[in-house]
Chain A
Amino acid sequence: MKELKILGVVVFFTLLTYWGVEPYAHSVMHPHVESDGFKYDDLPALTKKGDAQRGAQTFLSAGCTGCHGVKAAGMPAPMDPNAAAASFGVNPPDLSNAGSVYDEKFLAALIKNPEHALMVEHKFSKMGRAYPMPAFYGVGGDKDQEVADIVAYLKSIAKKDVTPKEAYELACGRCHAMHYDNWTQIGEKPKFKHKKDELLFEAKVLEYQDYLTKYLGKLPPDLSMYIRSRGEHYLKTFMENPQNLLHGTAMPRVGVTAEAAEKVIEHMADVGDAKRHERTSVGVKVMIYLFIFAILAYLWKQSLWRELH
C-alpha cells in the first residue's frame, strides 16, 4: 500500500537522524568504557584463609580503632567527623559493614598499601605527600595471614544485606553530599526545632567541606541528580575505576563489590529518579488506553470512509 511506503520513508529518515545524533554522536564524544565486573584483576588474590576470631585480635592490636569506629562491635568512632577531617582531610569510615560493601581483595590490598589500592598515588607519594592511613606492617607473624584474618573478621561482623542507602553512605557519603536526600558529608541533616541549632549544624558541614576541599583540591559534587546527568553505565564504570574516565582525578577507587555497586546505583536512582517504578506502571496503563483509542479511531474512520471510496 502506498501510504505504508510513505510511512516507511518517513520512519527511515527519522531513525537515520536519531542514530546519527544519539548513539553515533555519543559514541564519538564519550569513548566507551567496559566494566570488568568489579573483579579488580590488578590486585592479588588472597592466598591465606582468614580466621575471624584471630582477626578480631589482630584488628585491635593493629591499631585500626585509633581512627575507625566499628559500631557493630560496640566501638564508637574515636573522633567526630569534623575533628577527624581536621586531622586526616576526610572522616575515616566506620568499618561495621566494610566486609560486605568492599571487595575482599580490595580490603586486603588496602590494608597493606592504601594508596595503591585506592589508586591515589598520583596525589600523595608521587607528590611528596603522605597518605593519611598508614600501611599495615604486621603485628609480628605472617603478614598475609594477619591481613586475611582481619578481612575475615570484618566480613564476619558485617550485615549481609546492607540497604542501598547504607552502601551509599559508606562508599560515597563521606565525600559526596546528596541534598535531595538530606544527606551531608557528616551525616543526615536532622530536623531542628531551633534555628540556632540548625545554623550550628550547617556551620559544621561547611567546616567539614573546607577540610575536604583542602584535602582533595576541590569539593566533590553533590550526587543528587547524578543518575540522570551521568547515567547508570557511567556511574558504574566510574566507581569501578575513576581514573579510566577522569584521568588524574582525586577520587579514589572505592573498591566496592559488584553487588554493593548495584546498591549504590539503586540508592542514587531512588534519590534522582524517584518515580521510575511509577513511570513504568503508569506507562503500561497509558499504552493500553491508547491501543484501545487507536482501534476505535480506526473503526470510526473505516465506517465513514466505506461510503467515500
Chain B
Amino acid sequence: MAHFEKANSLEEWLDQRLAIKTLRRVLAEEYWIPKNINFLWAMGMVLAVTFGILLVSGIFLLMYYQPNVKLAFDSVNYTIMKEVEFGWLWRHMHAVAASVVFLIIYIHMFTGIYYGSYKKGREMIWISGMLLFVTFSAEAFSGYMLPWGQMSYWAGMVITNLFSLGSLELNGLVEWIRGDYVPGQAFLDRFFMLHVLLLPLVIMALIGLHFGTLRIPHVNNQDGEEIDFDAEAKKYLAGNKKEAKVIRFANDFMSKDMFVVSIFLIFYFYLVFWHFDFAMDPINFDPADGLKTPPHIYPEWYFLWSYEILRPFPKDPGLIAFGFAQVIFFALPFLDKSPNVAPASRRGAFKYWFWILLVDMIVLTVMGKLPPQGIYSTIGLVAAVVFIGLWVALPFITKNEKAV
C-alpha cells in the first residue's frame, strides 16, 4: 500500500488521495487561453451554464410531471403551474432556457464559422459541436412532446411522418417509431424516456468530448494567429503577464466568462419573468386533440430554417433537401478548402459567403413560420435554393483564396 503522511488541511488530505492540486493545475490554472479573444468566446461557458439550468429545472419538473396522455397536460398546467410552490418558475425557466440555448448555440456556431475555428486541427471540435447540435435538437423536440398540448401532438405527427421518406412510403417505420398508428401513450412514453434519460446522458458525454477536443488545438483567437502555447505560457509564469499572448483559464478568462454569464442571465431572466410567450407557444396551452388540426402547424423557431428547406419543394426533393440541411454543417471543415484560419472579413469571397449564409438562414427562419402562400413561398423557395447553392459553391470559392 502507498505511504500516506498525516494531512494538515482538508485540501492536503484530498490532494494525497485525489491529486486535486494537479487536477486544478492541468484543468484550470495552466489551461492556457489566448489573450486576444472577445466575449464571443464566452458563449461556450454560457451554453454550459444554460445546460446546467435545464438540468436542474428539469429535475424539479420531473418530480411532478406525469407521462400519461390523460394526465400529462394537467400535471404541467395545473399541478406544476398552480399547485406546486414555484412550479411555475421551474417551468418557465426550463421552457425559456430550451429556446434561448438555441440562440446561443447559433451564435456560438456562427462565431466558429466567422473565425474559421473548425479547421487545421480543430475539426473534431466542430464535429463534436455538431453532434451536440443534433442531440440538443432531438432533446428539444422530445421535450416539446411532453406537455401533450395541440402543438406537441401535431408537431409530433408531422415530424414522425417524415420518416415515411416520401415516395418510399415506409409507413411501417413511422408506426414503429410512434409505437402506434398515431401519437398516443406509447409515443409519449418513449419520448419521455428519450427526453429525461437517454438524450441527457448523450449530451453530457458529448459535452465531455467537446471539451476534450479543445485541449490539444486550444481555442482559436480573433486573428486566427498560431500561438506557441508552451513558449507563451513560460513568459506568463515568469511574471511577464503583459507580454504573454496567453492567460490562465482560471481565474483569468473565467472572470470574464462570469461577467458575460451575468449579462446573459439578466437577459435570460428578463425573458423568464416578462417575455416568455415566444418560447411557450400559446397553441400548446390547448390540450392535444387528434380530431382537430390547428390551422397553422409550425415548429419552434430554431427548427424553422430547416423546416423551410423541406417545405417549398415537392415531396421527395424536399426531403432530400431537408436531409442535406441536417448534415451539411458537419462537412464544413472539409468543404472549406482554404488553409487560412482568419476572420471572414479578411478572407475574400468567403466574407460574402458568411454574411449571405447568415441572412439566408434568417430569411428561411421567418418564411418557415409564415403560411406557405404567395410571395412567402416564393421567397422561401429562393432562400432554400440559395442555401443549397452556397454549400455547393463553398469548395470552389475557397480553393483559390489568397493566403493571409
Please list the residues of chain A having a beta carbon within 8 angstroms of any beta carbon in chain B.
2-3, 6-7, 10, 13-14, 16-18, 20-22, 24-25, 28-29, 180, 224-226, 228-231, 272, 274-275, 278-280, 282-283, 286-287, 290-291, 293-294, 297-298, 300-301, 304-305, 307-309
Name the one of B35, B39, B247, B304 contacting A3, with C-beta atoms under 8 angstroms. Answer: B39
Minimum CB–CB distance for A36 against chain B, Å: 24
CA of A300 to CA of B266, assembled, Å: 18
Cβ contact within 8 Å between B273 and A283: yes
Name the one of B38, B273, B278, B369 contacting A286, with C-beta atoms under 8 angstroms. Answer: B273
In this complex, what residue of B is CB-closest to A11? B267
A230-B282, A308-B242 are known contacts. Are A275 and B88 too (CB-CB below 8 A)?
yes
B255 / chain A contacts, CB cutoff of 8 Å? 297, 300-301, 304-305
* Further 15 A-B residue pairs, CB within 8 A, beyond A3-B39, A225-B285: A6-B39, A13-B362, A225-B77, A226-B285, A278-B88, A279-B89, A279-B273, A290-B266, A290-B269, A300-B258, A301-B255, A304-B255, A308-B241, A308-B247, A309-B242
Chain A: interface secondary structure?
helix
In this complex, what residue of B is CB-closest to A276? B88
B274 / chain A contacts, CB cutoff of 8 Å? 280, 283
Task: Judge whether B227 is part of the interface by a CB distance below 8 angstroms.
Answer: no
Name the one of B38, B77, B103, B369 contacting A20, with C-beta atoms under 8 angstroms. Answer: B369
Number of interface residues of B (CB under 8 A): 50
B265 / chain A contacts, CB cutoff of 8 Å? 290, 293
B284 / chain A contacts, CB cutoff of 8 Å? 229
Cβ contact within 8 Å between B365 and A229: no
A24-B366, A308-B241 are known contacts. Are A180 and B256 too (CB-CB below 8 A)?
no
Identify which of residues 253-285 in chain B touch chain A, using a CB-to-CB cut-off of 8 Å: 255-256, 258-259, 261-263, 265-266, 269-270, 272-274, 277-278, 280, 282-285
Cβ contact within 8 Å between A294 and B366: no
A13-B362, A225-B285 are known contacts. Are A21 and B266 too (CB-CB below 8 A)?
no
Identify which of residues 200-235 in chain B touch chain A, using a CB-to-CB cut-off of 8 Å: none
Minimum CB–CB distance for B264 against chain A, Å: 10
Cβ contact within 8 Å between A21 and B282: no
CA of A25 to CA of B258, assembled, Å: 35
Task: Judge whether B82 is part of the interface by a CB distance below 8 angstroms.
Answer: yes
Please list 25 pairs of residues, one from A and one from B, whose beta carbons are closer than 8 Å in the complex, sorted by A's number: A3-B38, A3-B39, A6-B40, A17-B366, A21-B366, A29-B370, A228-B282, A229-B283, A229-B286, A231-B282, A272-B285, A274-B82, A275-B88, A280-B273, A291-B266, A294-B262, A297-B255, A297-B259, A300-B251, A300-B255, A301-B259, A304-B255, A305-B252, A308-B242, A308-B247
B273 / chain A contacts, CB cutoff of 8 Å? 279-280, 282-283, 286-287
B277 / chain A contacts, CB cutoff of 8 Å? 231
Task: Judge whether B334 is part of the interface by a CB distance below 8 angstroms.
Answer: no
Cβ contact within 8 Å between B278 and A290: no
B38 / chain A contacts, CB cutoff of 8 Å? 2-3, 6
- Give the number of A-B contacts (CB < 8 Å): 125
Name the one of A10, A13, A21, A180 contacting B304, with C-beta atoms under 8 angstroms. Answer: A21
Name the one of A229, A294, A307 contacting B242, with C-beta atoms under 8 angstroms. Answer: A307
A28-B371, A225-B286, A275-B88 are known contacts. Are A10 and B107 too (CB-CB below 8 A)?
yes
CA of A224 to CA of B76, assembled, Å: 13
Cβ contact within 8 Å between A29 and B88: no
Name the one of B89, B252, B278 contacting A22, with C-beta atoms under 8 angstroms. Answer: B278
A10 / chain B contacts, CB cutoff of 8 Å? 40, 107
In this complex, what residue of B is CB-closest to A274? B82
Cβ contact within 8 Å between B39 and A308: no
A286 / chain B contacts, CB cutoff of 8 Å? 269, 273
In this complex, what residue of B is CB-closest to A282? B89
Minimum CB–CB distance for A108 against chain B, Å: 36
Task: Judge whether B327 is part of the interface by a CB distance below 8 angstroms.
Answer: no
B40 / chain A contacts, CB cutoff of 8 Å? 6, 10
B371 / chain A contacts, CB cutoff of 8 Å? 28-29
Task: Judge whether B358 is part of the interface by a CB distance below 8 angstroms.
Answer: yes
Task: Judge whether B296 is part of the interface by a CB distance below 8 angstroms.
Answer: yes
CA of A50 to CA of B247, assembled, Å: 85
Cβ contact within 8 Å between B366 and A20: yes
Minimum CB–CB distance for A125 against chain B, Å: 29
CA of A275 to CA of B251, assembled, Å: 40
Q: Which of A22, A28, A229 has the most CB of B within 10 A?
A: A229
Task: Judge whether B78 is part of the interface by a CB distance below 8 angstroms.
Answer: yes
Task: Judge whether B301 is part of the interface by a CB distance below 8 angstroms.
Answer: yes
A180-B82, A279-B273 are known contacts. Are A290 and B39 too (CB-CB below 8 A)?
no
Minimum CB–CB distance for A275 against chain B, Å: 4
A7 / chain B contacts, CB cutoff of 8 Å? 39
B259 / chain A contacts, CB cutoff of 8 Å? 294, 297-298, 300-301
Minimum CB–CB distance for B39 against chain A, Å: 6
Cβ contact within 8 Å between B258 and A275: no
Cβ contact within 8 Å between A275 and B82: yes
CA of A28 to CA of B366, assembled, Å: 12
A18 / chain B contacts, CB cutoff of 8 Å? 278
B242 / chain A contacts, CB cutoff of 8 Å? 307-309
Q: Which of B252, B265, B285 has the most CB of A within 10 A?
A: B285
B362 / chain A contacts, CB cutoff of 8 Å? 13, 16-17, 20
CA of A6 to CA of B242, assembled, Å: 24
